[in-house]
Amino acid sequence: MDGVFYLFALIWGILSIVLFFKIWGMTNDVETIKHILLNVTSKTIAANNKEASETLSESMGNLEEGDVVVNVETGQELIVVQIFPDGDVTCKPAKGLGLRKVVKASKLKRIE
């Protein structure tokens, strides 16, 4: 019985050493995969940011502070007070008194 146990322990020890070196080798592969994924992710983020900024500039048109615009959803005439880089525009009512509103630039149409 002792012989079987020693044989089993020897096989177990050899397989453990082989497994150790296999895992050690895989850590290099994980590092390579990590670098590849980081490069792909950064390129994707850069492309998305470029696309978003182009879409934003198209939706904002040529809005400037002081322009009279119409809110497409409500039909209310507004005056542009402040333009934010994320596409939000602060407006105040063109006629009468009212509170300032923050509206997406895509929902505004400039009055010529």
Mean pLDDT of 28-47: 76
Q: What is the DSSP string of 25-85?
A: HHHHHHHHHHHHHHHHHHHHHHHHHHHHHHHHHHHHTT--TT-EEEETTT--EEEEEEE-T
pLDDT at 58 over 60: no
Percent of the chain with pLDDT over 90: 19
pLDDT at 102 over 80: yes
**Residue 38 Cα to chain centre, angstroms:** 14
Whole-number pLDDT of residue 28: 77
- Sorted by sequence, the CB contacts under 8 Å of residue 41 that are 6+ apart come out as none
Alpha-carbon distances, residue 13 vs 6, 10, 59 (angstroms)? 10, 5, 67
More confident residue, 55 or 76: 76
Confidence of residue 57 (pLDDT cuts 50, 70, 90): low
Mean pLDDT of the chain: 82
pLDDT at 60 over 60: no
Whole-number pLDDT of residue 21: 92
More confident residue, 67 or 86: 67
**Token duo for residue 53:** 């900024």
Tell me if 45 sits within 8 A of 37, measured CB to CB.
Answer: no
Round to whole Å and give the CA distance between 52 and 49.
5
Whole-number pLDDT of residue 50: 67
